[in-house]
Structure formats: structure tokens, C-alpha cells
Structure 1
């Protein structure tokens, strides 16, 4: 009788067709870590090879600003803003420490440390895949991560993405473990998640508003506990984030007289993303560095970007205090968007198309000749790498859409991945740049690997219809960006010459 009662209880609340009925990892998620470590070592070795082959690359855009901030901190002992941005101090401090220990050789050391830090990205990506889908899927995810060129490139650039992801992904993995434990997780794991996310915020302030959303998940999902316990866990998580960043918040209040938790870049991004001229920072470099009369940026389909050219609003350059100036830029951008709702709608479709376009900084570097003096810039090598780098996002997005709609996933995992992917996508609707897609890539890899190994096992016709609809949407968005994409292929395929 007891067995019958338990069985009836389990059957009384069926799961969605594509979800597991419990909030728990798959049964074989505790397999040996040795294969994952081996794949991690392969990925790190490949990134080290690219670092050596790339040689010394000329700084591009924000790279120069990061290095300038690091040099000034190293030489003069204080951290300044870069006028148009007030960045968090983590990445410039990282570069400054490398310069302090190894002088100008510190720049190579910084890249080498980024290569090593990428092991955290690869290993955590595989842990996510193993926990959601099992050991075989983790190996496929690891193989994808090893050869994904848009990620490889950032290990030998002076952008903060590699260091950021090395902290951000483990933080989210700890959150997933806590959610799946359904109240059985120790407080130490919650504290670790908060501290790792605080570390990621010191490198890049992008997930600042993601933190309360994650806390909400921690509060809502302990289904086996009283609600007050969920609130306690959420509060502990937020406290673990707030305590490390509080000293820098107080420092900003003393220096600027304003409440700035870590950094401020929204105002400058509003100037680029909520303004009359269309800007895509994957494309602007072509016109600037190749001296083109018609750069890829000018080829955008007019309906999506057309605006009154006289409507461009200028930065608030007269305001000397950086946070105040950025706040005014933000206000002007929001006012412009409110006055032009039709343009806002059309241009956001374009931003979404730019988000999923097969562009990357690696391809851009090839197109503007940054690799010309290295083996990576030789004609046959360049063409092979550019082809792989541009095909990779296309295939990844198609498979990831299949993974989202066509594989079983426990409820907490679906909520966590949906929250993170949705949040990053929304932040990317402000400024067009493939760099902003990078935090999504590890999760897209997990979903793609899940579809490759477990696709077609759940959902039936409904899942097939959803996958087909998602692919159709992607195809439409790729059509929107097709003129610029073809131009990028032409320049990257042939190089700067």
C-alpha cells in the first residue's frame, strides 16, 4: 500500500513534456572528472598556441584604454576613469599587477594568465552540461569549447571577457547546485556563489542587476522548505555580493560624490545605442582602419536604421564630473527613445539581428589586418580560420535553439538559464557588438551539446514546431544583417590589403 501511495503521488503532478519532473541533476552527473580535465588541458593548450602564433597585436579601441588605466595606476598609484567610461577596477588592476611584477613583459604575462583562466570557463561549461544532460554531453560541450574561435580570441586580447567569465560561470554554477539541492545546500556554497559574482562584478558591471534576479530564484525555488528559509538564502547571497563591493562604492562616493557601486558605462552606451546614427562596433573599425568610403556599417537595410540625421543628440561634454555626465547622457538617450517609438522598435530588431550575426572580434581583427604579421594572417590560414569563426556562431545558435526546445531539463535549470540568457540578450539590445554575446556562449554550448546528444527525446511535435519556429526567426534575423555580413566576409577573407 505504501508503494502505491508514493507512485500515485509522483504521477499526480506530471512535468511539462520537455522538462524533468524534479528539480535535480541527471542521474549520471557525478562521473569521473578526469575526461573533463583532459579536455580542459587541450583547450588551454590550443589557446596558448594561438597566443604564441598571434604575436604582439596592435591595441584596438578599449584595449588601449584598459592598458592606459593600468599604466597610470602602476606608475602614479591611483585609478582614474577613462572620461567616457567609469569602468570597474578589476581588469585594470589585474594588468597593473602584471606590469608591476614584470614591467612591459607583464602584458604577455597577463595574456598568459588569461589563457590559464580560460580553464575555469571550459571546466565550468562542462560541469553545467554534465549536471543538465550527463557525462557524454559534457564531453561534447568540452570539445565545442576547445575549438570555439570567438572565445579563443579573447584570451590574447586586452578585453576583460576571459577574466570575467572565469568568475561569472562558477558563480552561476554554484547557484544551480543550490537550486537543485532544494534546500539541502550548505550556506558556504551560497556564500561562494555571492563572492564569485562579486569578483565578476569587479571586472565587468554587466551582471549588477542580474544579482537580484538570481536572489529571487534562490528565494522562490526551495520548494521543500518554508518561504522564510528561501528569503534567508537570498539575503545571504546578496550580502556576500554587497560586502566586497562596499569599499569601492564608498571610494566612488568620496571621489565623485555620487552613488556608483562599481562602474558606470550606461550613459556612453546610450549615446551609441539610443541615438540617430546607427552604430555597430563590430563594423566601425573597418571604415576607420581601412579608410573605406563605404564601410560595412553603411550597408545596413535602411528600414531598420533610418532616422532623422539632424536628430542626433550630443554628449553632455560640459559636465565635468564623469558619473553626472554619464547620467545626463543616459537621460538624453531615454528621452530620444521616448520621442521616437517607431525608430526604437525598428532599431531594436536590428540590434537583435546584430546580436545573433556571425560576427566576432576574431573576424574583425582578421578583416582590419591585426594578424597580418603573424602566421594566423597568412592567406590560407586566415581564410580557414575566418570560415570557421563565422560558421561557429551560426551552427551553435541553431543547435542551442534545438537544445532549449527539444531536450529535457529540470525546472530550476530552465529558469536559471532562461534568466541569464534573457538578461544578457536585453543588455545587448542597447549597443550592437558581438562582444556582448560572449557571456551567453557557454550556455549556448551546453544547450547545443544537449541537443546533439539528447535531441529528439522529448516534446514530440510541439518541440519540433518550436525548434522550426526558432530557426525561422534566426534565419530572418540573419537576412536583416546579410549585407553587412557579406561585406565582412569579403574584407576578412581577403584581409586588410
Structure 2
């Protein structure tokens, strides 16, 4: 009883919140407040932390400057590349062409994209999990440390997350006819592929629930086909550019085989490693060569490949501190080195909590839904898809970021159920025993 009394104020607050869950007007306000808090936190971070590009951010910066200067997608004039996907540098190049080489518009763009991500995730969570998990999803993403930290980072992750959520949003829009949904989704998926090619296979995932659960197999299949055709049609001009540059057909980028090799060679740690010296100048041919080397290694030790893939799946989710790492110079300039470790701890602890909540959600959903419903639930299958692709190739904490909005949805569902149970237990314990 003493233990219960100690948590009584918390239980009363939790009870008031859960009572608000039943009030549509309260939920509506809570959703708007999530967006307001998301805006304030991102604006505050953007004002406080200067943009100092490092690592991949520096690459995007250089590429964007060269595109804006009319030198094409290249490290330097005359050395055209497709090693990175062109989408993110192209967006930044457009900004540089309009405003000059300044990072302020990119920070503003990141804030807008961040808010859009929160709003889209809430809307999708409402369709898939209900109104309360939707609002909780908004709050989880609003205060998610990494999402805030990426406000001052030149990177593909935030743009990619926004595009993927937007594709799901239009493709599953209630009341829209299937053809407009499919065309719009195809356009957005093409944008996502230009940013990160892993989106290439998302169209079947997007329409899977409609085909199986709603039993609209023909309509969903037709919509998926149209989305794929539109997507490929919009990607094809870049593929033809690559054919002209490398004398080989390259759909988007020349790093798929290289990434596959990084995760599957005798010296691999599962994470990024420099390319070996091959003597092959053409980066498309080098990519093919490294892919073949990876397959040779897998063929020699197939069981080791399975073990290695499972280990990489764990490594993919072991931490989330890249937002601090890529902001280190800016944070040091504004606040000194002492803030780095606490910020990394906050980021990682938040990530581990969300991962635990998502795991609890899976346990709950296993009990509440059929296997078919579970295997077609978009937050789960998108997370599984991303994890599978990277576990087979190469991992790092940045590579799980596209899963974050979907993990937030699952975490929100777990928190919703857990909060209701805690309040129910509190009511039972506070009821006098009249026996």
C-alpha cells in the first residue's frame, strides 16, 4: 500500500490524461500541441547550433555546390559520379542557386520537413492504430532527440522519411480513387528513390494491406503496378545519364555492390569500411566487381553469412548518437565539449526506450491481432524491410533512422495500452475492500 501511495500523484495525472484520450476535442488540441512543441524545439536547435558539415554532410555540400555551379553531379569539375544518390544534393543545389551558399534555408527546410514528418506520422498512425496512438506518435517524434538534432545536418534521412510517409499517406488516402492515389504515390516514391534507393521496393509494401486485409487484390495490384511504372518513368532520365557517363546501365547509384561487399568480406565488421584498391577506374564496373567478390565470399561460407546477418541486425539498432556526432563541431563552438557526452546519453536512452516500447507493442499485437493482420501492419513490415536490407549489406546507427517514425507508432501504441492498464490497476488498488 505504501508503494501505491508513493505513485498516487503520478497515477492521478495519468488518469487525467487517459480520461482526455476519450475526448476528441482534447486529442485534437494535444495533436496541435505536439506540432507546436516540435516547431519550438527545432527552431531552438537551429538557432543554437551552427551548421558545420562533416563526413557525408560535407559530401552533400560539395556535390550541391558543384551542381549549382553547373559542373554536374561531381566531386570536382569533369569527374561525374553516381556513387551517392543525387536527390539530396540536387535539393541543396536548388537552394544554393536561389540563395547562394548559405545553410540558413537548409535549416528552414529541415524544420518544415521535420514538422511535416510529425504530421504525416500522426495521420498514418490514426489510420493504422487509432486516434490516441496517433497523438502519442506526434509527441514521441516531436521530442525525439535525433529528429531535432538533424535540423542542423545536411543529410538525406529527414527528406527520405518525409517522402516515404507522404507516399503511404496518399496511397492509403480514404475516399480517393485508386488511379490518382497510385499516380501520386509513384511520383513521391520516385522522389524517395532519388534520395535513397532503398525505396525502390516499397510500392508492394504500401499496397500489401489493401490487397490482403481489405481483399482488394486486383485494385491493389493495379495501383501498385501504376505506381511502379510512374516511379520508373521518372527515374529513367537519370539512369540514361548514368549510361552515358559509365557506359553501363545504372538505375540510380553505383554503391549497391560496394555496400554489399562492405558487409560481406573477410575483414568486415558489418559497418562502413574503405573500398579496396581494385585498379578499376569506372565506378559502375568497380561496383559490379565488388558485388561479385561479396557473392564469392558468401558462397564459400553460407552459414557464416546467416550468422553475420543476424549480428548486423543487432548492430543496426544498438545506438542512436549520430545526430550528436555529426553536430560535434557546431555543439563545441556553441557550448563546449562538455555537452557532447550528456547529449549522446540522452539520444541513446531515448532510442533504447522507444525500441523497448516497440518490442512491447509487438507482444501486445501478437495477442490482439491475427498473424495475417500483424504481417500486413505497415509500421511493422516497413521496419522489417529496412532492417533486412541493411542487415544483408552494411549497418550503422544512421541506417535505422528511416524506421524511426514507424518505431514511434509502435511505441505509441504500447504506451497507450500500458497507460490504460496502469490506471485500471490504480483504480483497483484504491477501491476499499469491503469484505
Are the counterparts in 2 of residues 215 and 237 from structure 1 also a CA contact under 8 Å?
no
Q: Counterpart of 2:182?
A: 190
For residue 87 of structure 1, what is the aligned residue in structure 2? 84
Matching of residue 104 in structure 1 with residue 81 in structure 2: no
CA distance in 2 between partners of 1:148 and 1:39 (Å): 12
Preserved CA contact (<8 Å) 2:144 2:350: yes
Question: Equivalent of 2:295, from 317, 331, 334?
Answer: 334
What do the CA deviations read for 1:384-409 (whole angstroms, capped 9, x no partner)?
42321110111101100111220446
Find 1:373's aligned residue among 326, 333, 339.
333
Greater Cα shift, 117-126 or 405-414 = 405-414
1:447 aligns with 2:395: no
Q: How many Å apart are 1:32 and its aligned residue? A: 7.4
Structure 2 gaps, min length 5: 1-21, 422-435
Q: Distance in 2 between matches of 1:401 and 1:140?
A: 16
Instruction: Measure, in 1, the Cα distance between the counterparts of 2:389 and 2:358.
Output: 20
Aligned partner of residue 388 in structure 1, secondary structure: helix
- What is the DSSP-based 3-state SS (H/G/I as helix, E as strand, rest coil) of the residue aligned with 2:276? coil
Other-structure match for 2:284: 323
- Determine if the alignment matches structure 1 residue 205 to structure 2 residue 232: no
Displacement of 1:256 in angstroms is 2.2
Is 2:416 aligned against 1:426?
no
The offset of 1:30, in angstroms, is 11
1:214–1:135: structure 2 CA closer, same or farther, 3 Å change rule? closer
Query: What's the Cα RMSD here?
Result: 3.1
Q: 1:363 to 1:55 in 2, by over 3 A?
A: closer
CA shift at 1:129, angstroms? Answer: 2.2
8 Å contact kept, 1:129–1:450: no
Q: Which range is displaced more, 236-245 or 440-449?
A: 236-245
Inter-partner Cα distance in structure 1 for 2:213 and 2:240: 33
Please give the alpha-carbon distance, in whole angstroms, between the structure 2 residues aligned to 1:276 and 1:37: 52
CA distance in 2, matches of 1:321, 1:222: 48
When the two structures are superposed, what TM-score results if normalisation uses the length of structure 1?
A: 0.71
Given that 1:37 and 1:123 are in contact with CA atoms closer than 8 Å, whether structure 2 keeps it comes out as no
Q: Which residue of 1 aligns with 2:160?
A: 164
Residues in 2 aligned to 1:33 and 1:249: alpha-carbon distance in whole angstroms = 45
Rounded Cα–Cα distance in structure 2 between residues aligned with 1:37 and 1:387 = 29
1:62 to 44, 53, 56: 56
Give the length in aligned residue pairs: 392
**Residue equivalent to 1:76:** 70
Contiguous gaps of at least 5 residues in structure 1 = 1-26, 285-312, 459-497
Q: Report what 2:315 is aligned to.
A: 354
Question: Distance between the aligned counterparts of 1:127 and 1:454, measured in 2?
Answer: 19
Contact 1:424 1:440 in 2 (8 A): yes
Query: Are 1:385 and 2:382 an aligned pair?
Result: no
* DSSP 3-state at the match of 2:135: helix
CA distance in 2, matches of 1:202, 1:314: 23
Matched residue, 1:435? 398
| Deviation larger for 409-418 or 117-126 | 409-418
| SS of 2:101 mapped into structure 1 | helix
Give the superposition deviation at 1:455: 4.5
Contact preservation (8 Å) 2:193, 2:199? yes
Partner of 1:254: 244
Structure 1 pair 455/205, CA: closer, same or farther in 2 (3 Å)? Answer: same
Q: Does 1:401 align with 2:359?
A: yes
Deviation at 1:213, TM superposition (A): 4.4
Answering whether residue 134 of structure 2 is matched by residue 138 of structure 1, we say yes
> What CA distance in whole angstroms lies between the structure 2 residues aligned with 1:206 and 1:29?
37
